[in-house]
Every structure is written in structure tokens, then in C-alpha cells.
Amino acid sequence: MIRFNNNVSAELQDILNIELHRYKREIPSITYEEWDMLVDWVKEGNSPYTNGDGVYGDDGWPLDFINTLRFWEDMREDFESDSESEPVDTNTEDPDFIENPDNEKPFG
């Protein structure tokens, strides 16, 4: 049994315990780290089928907690691999570079 925060009602605790165990059966490839984070999330009175980041899937429904964690991890890995493989060109000697000495707005 999970030890819930004091502000979580007994009725909600029963519901969340059922959801958590059903969720664990639905996602068998969950890691220990993910499980610990999920349990902390549920202890606070949150459903494992929700996320606190407002992340939605392609179908328009909110992603569940673990898939949101994995989404952010994938985004971080993609960002790190992009920044390693594509260095930023800081060359200011670009022949197409036009300096705006009067600090004018380009479109009025």
C-alpha cells in the first residue's frame, strides 16, 4: 500500500490504488526509476493516467505520467544530439550580412 499525503481523501486513495495497479499491468516495461517517480506522483493525489505538464498526444488526449516522462527524455536526447552534431555558425563575416546602422525596423 502507498502512504498518501495527508490531504488525499480515503476515497481518492482507494481509487488511485486501483488505478496504479491497473496502470502497472498496462505498462510492463516500466523501470524502477520510473516506478518511483510514478508512486511519488500518485502519493500527491494524482492519477497515473495524467501528467502535470499539459502534454497531449497526437490524438488530442493527455499523455499518461510515464509516457510524458519518456516524451521529455526523448526531447532532451534529441536536443543534445542536435546540438552536438550541428554547431552554431557565429561567423559575422557573412557576405550576405547587412548591418542596419540606423536601427530601423525592416517592415515599417
- In this predicted model, what pLDDT tens digit does every residue of 50-88 receive, in sequence order? 999 999 999 999 999 999 999 999 899 888 887 666 555
Q: What is the mean pLDDT of the chain?
A: 85
pLDDT tens digits, one per residue of 30-40: 999 999 999 99
Question: Is there a domain that residue 36 lies in?
Answer: yes
Question: Is there a domain that residue 100 lies in?
Answer: no
Question: Is there a domain that residue 66 lies in?
Answer: yes
Question: Is there a domain that residue 74 lies in?
Answer: yes
Question: Is there a domain that residue 3 lies in?
Answer: no
Give the SS3 label for residue 34: helix
Q: Which structural domain, as residue segments, surrounds residue 63?
A: 10-78
Write down the pLDDT at residue 35.
95
Taking the C-alpha atoms of residue 75 and residue 80, their distance in angstroms, rounded to an integer, is: 9
Kindly tell me if the per-residue pLDDT of 106 is higher than 60. no
Total domains, the chain: 1
Residue reference for cell 559575422:
92
- 44: closest CA among 65, 59, 67, 72? 65
Question: Is there a domain that residue 73 lies in?
Answer: yes
Sequence-distant (6+) residues with CB within 8 A of 84 are: none
Count the helices and strands in the chain (H runs, E runs).
3, 0
Question: Is there a domain that residue 58 lies in?
Answer: yes
